[in-house]
Amino acid sequence: MITSTYGAILHKSKSNLIVDEINLPKALTPGQVLVEVHASGICGAQINEIDAVKGPDKFLPHLLGHEGVGKVIDTGPFVSQVTINDMVVLHWRKGFGIEGQPYEYRWRNRTLNSGPVTTFSKHVVVSENRLTRIPDYKKVEYLPLLGCGLTTAFGSITRDAKIVAGESLLILGIGGVGSLLLVAAKTLGAGVVVALDKIADKEASSMNLGADHFETNISSDFINKINGKFGIDKFDIVIDTTGNPDIISTGYDLLNQNGRLVLVGVMPNDLKLAINTLGLNLGKKIIGSYGGQANPSYDIPRLYSMILSNKLNLSNLKFKSHKLIDINQAIDNVRNGDIGKQFISNFD
C-alpha cells in the first residue's frame, strides 16, 4: 500500500490549488480501490467547484477532478469489478460495483476530504462504482473524455434531447463539452449544426469537428443568415454549455414550437433565468442535463469500441498536456476558453 503521493488541493474557494504531498492510511475499506492516475481531464465542473457556484463549500480542504484514466494498484475487500493491474476509466457517474465510503486523506496534519472519485493526484482512492475497466491503450489523451465529456455529450443529445436523425441543433459555447457535442451530433446523424462561441478563433476548429456554421454572437441578422444558408428559422434542439442566463434565454427564443433546450452548463446559484413560459405551454421543453444520464458501465465500453473502430473520430480534437505542478495554468486556460482540451499527464 502506497503511503504518500502528490495532489492538487482546493484549500479555499476562488483560489489557486496547492500542489503538495498528501498521506494515505494503510488499509482500504470495502469498495475502495487504489489507482495510479495516468491522465486527468480538466473541465468546467472543476471551475464551478473552485468558484463555489452552487454555494458555500462545506468540505474544504478537498481534492478535485472527476474524469481520468489509470491503473489499479490495490483493492479493498469485496471489490469484484476490477483487479490489480487493470486499466480503468475514472468517472463521476455511478457504474457497477460497491459504493465505497469517501476516502479521508491527511494533509499537513489535518483531514483532506474527497468524494467517491478524484483525479488530480498521482494516486487516488476511488469507489469501485466510479471505475470502468478497459483494454490496454495507447492514446492516453482521449481516454479521460470517457469519464465525463464524451458520455455527457452523447447522453445529452440522445437521452436528454432525444434527437431524431436530421434535426437541427444549436450549440451554445464551444469549450470542452461543446467541442464534443459537435463530434457527437455529426456521429448521431444530426442535420444542420450551428456552433456559437464568443471566441472567433474557434471557428476553424468548430468546422473541423462537425459544425455547418459558426457565429460569435446572436446578432439581429443571425436567423436571416441561417435561413438564407440552410432554409431554417428555428432550431429543433439548443444545447447550452455556458450557464449564462442571457445566452440561455436567447437560445430558448430560437427553438421551434416543439424544440428542446438542454442545459448542460450550470448557472451560478445567485442568478435567475428570464423567459416567457408561453412556449412551454405550446410544446417547447427545457431539460436540465445531469451528465447526459450516462451509465458508465454501458456507455464507456461502447464509446471506446467506437473510437477503436474509427466510428467515432476524435482526430480533429486539440489537446494541451500539462504537468501536475502547472495545474493552475491549465485551469486558467479553461477559464479563458483556450482551444484544446486541457489535461494532466505528468504527475511527477
Q: How does pLDDT run across 273-314, given as a tens digit for each residue?
A: 999 999 999 999 999 999 999 999 999 999 999 998 889 989
* pLDDT at residue 138, as a whole number: 67
* Max intra-chain CA distance, the chain: 66
Residue 299 vs residue 138, higher pLDDT:
299
- Say how far apart CA 163 and CA 174 lie, in whole Å: 19
pLDDT at 201 over 80: yes
State the DSSP code for 292. Answer: G
* pLDDT at residue 301, as a whole number: 95
Q: For all residues of the chain together, what is the average pLDDT?
A: 94
Portion of the chain with pLDDT greater than 90, in percent: 85
What mean pLDDT is predicted for residues 68-78? 96
* pLDDT at residue 337, as a whole number: 86
Asked if the peptide bond before residue 25 counts as cis, ω within 30 degrees of 0, the response is: no
pLDDT at 226 over 90: yes
What is the tens place of the pLDDT at every residue in 44-64?
889 999 999 888 999 999 999
pLDDT at 139 over 70: no
What's the distance, CA 76 to chain centroid? Answer: 28
Note whether 261 and 252 are within 8 A (CB).
yes
State the DSSP code for 98. Answer: -
What mean pLDDT is predicted for residues 220-248? 94
State the DSSP code for 29. Answer: P
* pLDDT at residue 348, as a whole number: 82
Judged on CB neighbours under 10 Å (0-12, 13-18, 19+), 200 is exposed
pLDDT at 136 over 90: no
Domains (range + CATH), the chain: 4-142+317-346 (3.90.180.10), 149-293 (3.40.50.720)
pTM as predicted: 0.94
- Say how far apart CA 122 and CA 245 lie, in whole Å: 37
